[in-house]
Amino acid sequence: MSTTTKAGPLRHALTLNESACVKGDTLLEATDVVIRFNLRGKTLTAVRSASLALKAGETLAVVGESGSGKSVFAKSFLGMLDKNGRVASGSIRYRGAELSSLKGEREWLSVRGSRIAMVFQDPMTALNPLKTVGEQIREAAALHRGLDKEHSRLLALDMLARVGIGEPERRYGQYPHEFSGGMRQRAVIAAAIACGPEILICDEPTTALDVTIQAQILELIKSLQRDLGMAVLFITHDLGVVAKMADRIAVMYAGQVVEEGLSAEIFYDPRHPYTWALLASLPQLGVKGEELFAIKGTPPSLFKEIKGDAFAARNPLALKVDFEHEPPFFSVSPTHRAKTWLLDPRAPAQEAPDTVRRLRARIAEAGKAAGLREPNAPTAVAKADGAKKRKAKKAKEQADE
Ligand SMILES: Nc1ncnc2c1ncn2[C@@H]1O[C@H](COP(=O)(O)OP(=O)(O)OP(=O)(O)O)[C@@H](O)[C@H]1O
Ligand SMILES: [Mg+2]
């Protein structure tokens, strides 16, 4: 699959490697990114040397509890940090160009919207209450695609239809308050895709919506991603949503990515104690009559320097080293790594606690329910092949007799 290469009017600010990307090529690569905020004379480090790579055509989910830095990290890919924040160090590369060196709104507009678009939790903040929905989509398309009024209007109508808004002609002329919450989020998504981005960042796009509408919006994002070949960075608290949406998962804790892997690897074979705790808090994994596993304690203060493993104080399995030295990443597979001393060969062999072992079985069940296949479990094709081979062997044996 090749993604489109477009000539937008704002392109000149960056020299991008425009060679077509095939699925699996890295599009966006954030390396050792540190993000700091000035707050009342103090410095808060929200993202602490976090790295992330997004590949063409994939859905990468970023999960982690509130305040772990998911939104701040994602906003840095679009130059949308609040005024008191900055990328203090590290690199954010998109198609070979360094984004963190971009300055000012004009330069950022060569990427934001046209290349990388973002959908937020609350569609009302993304829409101007004083302009019709159609005009807002049209203007976005005109700005980023350099289309004239008539062409951008046609494109906006097409986008409204594409995101499942019936009677697009009538809806075009309505104001945001005349739309329901779900419809508003569809309109925001329409404005985002009207600019033909290669990357769509969705930050809790369904949290503000009720459950049935949530499912529809998720389905919409999934189908748009499939049809348009976009890469999606999906930020959410909800691991149930992740199981349905993501190819890969990155788990964030206290401003760092602490584990990443294919969805099935994270669900069936999580290695970081924080990921265990996060999975254990999934409502789907609860057992009737048993209290939901809660992550005890609070994350460390981001105003202070964090020594060792940031999760140590809340981790009942923490080793002495966790309080002294920050763990590096250890590879579990070519696609799976976790930042925990538990994976160091020198770590004492430690049986996962009972709760975690019980949890694994439940995770497997919940994963299956969400359509996730256990790693190394035979596929339907492999099973069918096996059955065919056994049948052929039996037939041969009978013929030989
Ligand atoms: N403008 C700002 N000034 C100061 N601190 C900020 C600012 N914006 C974010 N932060 C801090 O950065 C940290 C990370 O925030 P972020 O919004 O990325 O968390 P999150 O993982 O997205 O959480 P949630 O799941 O609640 O959305 C938090 O401690 C937050 O208070
Ligand atoms: Mg957030």
Ligand 2 centroid to residue 224 C-alpha, Å: 23
Ligand found nearest the CA of 72: 1
Ligand 1, from 34, 47, 72: best to mutate by most atoms within 8 Å of Cβ?
Answer: 72
Interval 242-253 mean pLDDT:
93
Per-residue pLDDT band at 324 (split at 50, 70, 90):
very high
Residue 164 Cβ < 6 Å to ligand 1: no
% residues pLDDT > 70 (the chain): 80
Ligand 2 centroid to residue 235 C-alpha, Å: 8
Give the pLDDT of residue 337: 97
The DSSP 8-state label assigned to residue 93 in this structure reads E
Residue 302 Cβ < 6 Å to ligand 1: yes
62 in Cβ contact with 256 (< 8 Å):
no
Atom of ligand 1 nearest to the CA of 302: 29
| CA pair distance 285, 265, nearest whole angstrom | 17
Give the pLDDT of residue 4: 39
DSSP 18-49: -SPPBTTSEEEEEEEEEEEEEETTEEEEEEEE
User: If you take atom 12 of ligand 1, which residue's CA is the nearest one?
Assistant: 46
Interval 263-287 mean pLDDT:
80
Residue 256 Cβ < 6 Å to ligand 1: no
Tokens representing residue 177 in the block: 């308050």
- CA nearest 198: which of 8, 70, 47, 51? 8
Ranges 16-20, 21-25, 33-37: which has the least confidence: 16-20
Interval 324-336 mean pLDDT:
96
Residue 261 Cβ < 6 Å to ligand 1: no
Ligand 2 centroid to residue 321 C-alpha, Å: 31
Contacts of 130 (CB under 8 A, 6+ apart): 175
Ligand found nearest the CA of 82: 1
Residue linked to tokens 């996060």? 278
Per-residue pLDDT band at 126 (split at 50, 70, 90):
confident
Residue 44 Cβ < 6 Å to ligand 1: yes
Give the pLDDT of residue 283: 64
Residue 290 Cβ < 6 Å to ligand 1: no
pTM of the entire structure?
Answer: 0.86
Q: What angle do CA 33, 86, 297 make, to 5 degrees?
A: 65
Q: Above 80 in pLDDT, residue 6?
A: no
Contacts of 152 (CB under 8 A, 6+ apart): 138, 139, 141, 142, 145
Ligand 1 centroid to residue 68 C-alpha, Å: 7
Ligand 2 centroid to residue 328 C-alpha, Å: 26
Ligand 2 centroid to residue 384 C-alpha, Å: 44
Ranges 3-12, 15-24, 51-60: which has the least confidence: 3-12
Residue 191 Cβ < 6 Å to ligand 1: no
Tokens representing residue 337 in the block: 């790594």
Ligand 1, from 34, 68, 75, 302: best to mutate by most atoms within 8 Å of Cβ?
Answer: 68
User: If you take atom 26 of ligand 1, which residue's CA is the nearest one?
Assistant: 66
User: If you take atom 6 of ligand 1, which residue's CA is the nearest one?
Assistant: 37
Q: Strands of 186-325 (E only): list them.
A: 199-203, 231-236, 248-253, 256-262
Ligand 2 centroid to residue 70 C-alpha, Å: 6
Looking at 259-327, list the stretches that DSSP marks H as alpha helix, in order from N- to C-terminal side.
263-268, 273-280
Residue 234 Cβ < 6 Å to ligand 1: no
Per-residue pLDDT band at 309 (split at 50, 70, 90):
very high
Interval 267-271 mean pLDDT:
87
Ligand 1 centroid to residue 85 C-alpha, Å: 11
Q: Above 60 in pLDDT, residue 9?
A: no
Residue 38 Cβ < 6 Å to ligand 1: no
User: If you take atom 3 of ligand 1, which residue's CA is the nearest one?
Assistant: 37
Interval 371-385 mean pLDDT:
54
Task: Supply the mean pLDDT for the chain.
Answer: 85
Atom of ligand 1 nearest to the CA of 255: 14
Q: Above 60 in pLDDT, residue 153?
A: yes
